[in-house]
Amino acid sequence: MLAKRIIPCLDVKDGLVVKGIKFKNHKVIGDILFLAKNYSINGADELVFYDIAASADNKLLDKKWIYNISRLINIPFCVAGGIKSINDAALVLSLGADKISVNSPAIENPSLIYELSNHFGSQCVVIGIDVWFDKFDRKYFIYQYTGNEDKMISTKLNVFDWIKKVQDLGAGEIVLNMMNQDGICQGYDIKFLNKIENICNVPLIASGGAGKNEHFYTLFNETGVSGALAASVFHNNIISINKLKSFLLSKGINIRLC
């Protein structure tokens, strides 16, 4: 069985790492290179960088920091932000990223997933999906342009249909971002993740809700996800990655220690 992955998530805007709550009210956390190196040293299995304004502003992510990160850390990292073509992806990968992630551009042009997978291989094509649970309608809605509060919109996509489609088109991994849970540190949406697992045949990464060690344990113990994405608990030094991994190992979770 593959080891479960612990993946710090770094939202990037104007070259700095920021963090919001439920994808809103972002505040500056710190320097992207300092945080990347710190997480790499302290046990992260990989890193994910989202240039959160790129797609909403119809531009490719700021490329300046990608090469510097590739020279600084020795763990895999994934980059997202306005990647709309093979040329965009090739540039990002040439600068040192191991994977590219697409979200809003894939919603706009689903064939992009096939093009990227066919050209680079599915192993480096990640699809991000931002989901909001409407408590009144009791339905899950996929959102687009979530990096900009003013441009964020709800799509008409059915989340289960979309997950099936991106797999058919060649997605090698899916990151499911639960917007309701984001930044509030109250745990992952286990019930929903279990539903998604039933239709997901590629590695599934859970994002949104981590607040304490037990949340990671519950996630890995009660679902079959491949990894846990988290931000606030790491940015705010609530959880040490190495200590988290030791805790999970003591509870019988297959985790890789550094």
Find out whether 79 and 87 touch, Cβ atoms under 8 Å.
Answer: no
Question: What's at 167, amino acid-wise?
Answer: Q
Nearest to 32 by CA among 44, 15, 53: 15
Separation between Cα atoms, residue 241 and residue 10, nearest integer Å: 15
**Residues labelled catalytic:** 11, 130
Residue 107 Cα distances to 84, 87, 155, angstroms: 11, 18, 9
| Token pair for 96 | 């040192």
As given in the structure block, the two tokens for residue 221 are: 């113990």
Provide the β-strand partners of residue 73.
none
- How many beta carbons lie within 10 A of that of residue 198, not counting itself? 7
- Alpha carbons 207 and 226: distance in angstroms, whole number: 11
